[in-house]
C-alpha cells in the first residue's frame, strides 16, 4: 500500500559530513566551489549545511540553521560522476527535476557508497508514490 511506501520513505534518513559543490542551476553551469557540509537526508529532501566551524565570527545562529542548499529528490537522478566531472575520487552526481546539479564526494569508499544507496533508494521510493 502507499501507506507502507510512505512509511518506508520516511524511514530512510541519514546525516553526516561530506564534501559538496553545486555545479549547475536551472541548466546553467556554475563555477565549482567545493566545501565540507553537514548533510541531512530527511523526508525525501537533502539539505547541505555550512559547517559552523568555518562560519565567520558573529554569524547569526539562523544562518547556521538555514541550509546552504535544499535538494528535492523527487524526480531526481543520482549516478557515479564520470571522470571528466571531477579529478576527485568517489564523486556522486545528483541532478534535480528543475535542472540543478550537485556533486558529493568523500575519500572513504564506505561513506560515499552508503550515501549512494540511501539516496538511490529514496529516489526510487519517491517515484513509486
Nearer to ligand I3S by C-beta: 9 or 100? 100
Residue 81 DSSP one-character state: P
**Grid coordinates 569508499 are at which residue?**
109
Question: Which one of residues 88, 95, 120, 121 is an interface residue with ligand I3S (CB under 6 A)?
Answer: 88
State the Cα torsion 73-74-80-85 to the nearest 10°.
Answer: -70
- Nearer residue to ligand I3S within complex by CB, 88 or 95: 88
Shortest Å, Cβ 85 to ligand I3S: 7
Helix (H) or strand (E) holding 77: strand 77-80
Report d(CA 106, CA 104) in Å as an integer. Answer: 7
Report the alpha-carbon distance of residue 1 to residue 34 in Å, rounded: 41
Separation between Cα atoms, residue 61 and residue 53, nearest integer Å: 12
* Contact flag: residue 24 with ligand I3S (CB under 6 A): no
Does residue 86 bind ligand I3S (CB under 6 A)? yes
Size of the site for ligand I3S (CB under 6 A): 6
Of the candidates 34, 55, 75, 97, which one interacts with ligand I3S according to CB under 6 A? 34
Residue 87 near ligand I3S by CB under 6 A? yes
Taking CB under 6 A as the criterion, the residue among 32, 42, 117, 124 binding ligand I3S is: 32
The residue ranges that bind ligand I3S (CB under 6 A) are 31-32, 34, 86-88
Amino acid at each position: 500500500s502507499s501507506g507502507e511506501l510512505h512509511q518506508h520513505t520516511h524511514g530512510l534518513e541519514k546525516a553526516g559530513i561530506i564534501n559538496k559543490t553545486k555545479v549547475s542551476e536551472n541548466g546553467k553551469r556554475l563555477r565549482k566551489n567545493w566545501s565540507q557540509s553537514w548533510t541531512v537526508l530527511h523526508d525525501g529532501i537533502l539539505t547541505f549545511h555550512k559547517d559552523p566551524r568555518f562560519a565567520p565570527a558573529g554569524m547569526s545562529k539562523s544562518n547556521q540553521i538555514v541550509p546552504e542548499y535544499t535538494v528535492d529528490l523527487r524526480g531526481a537522478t543520482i549516478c557515479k560522476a564520470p571522470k571528466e566531472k571531477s579529478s576527485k575520487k568517489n564523486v556522486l552526481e545528483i541532478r534535480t527535476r528543475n535542472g540543478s546539479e550537485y556533486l558529493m564526494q568523500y575519500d572513504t569508499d564506505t561513506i560515499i557508497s552508503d550515501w549512494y544507496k540511501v539516496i538511490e533508494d529514496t529516489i526510487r521510493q519517491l517515484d513509486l508514490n
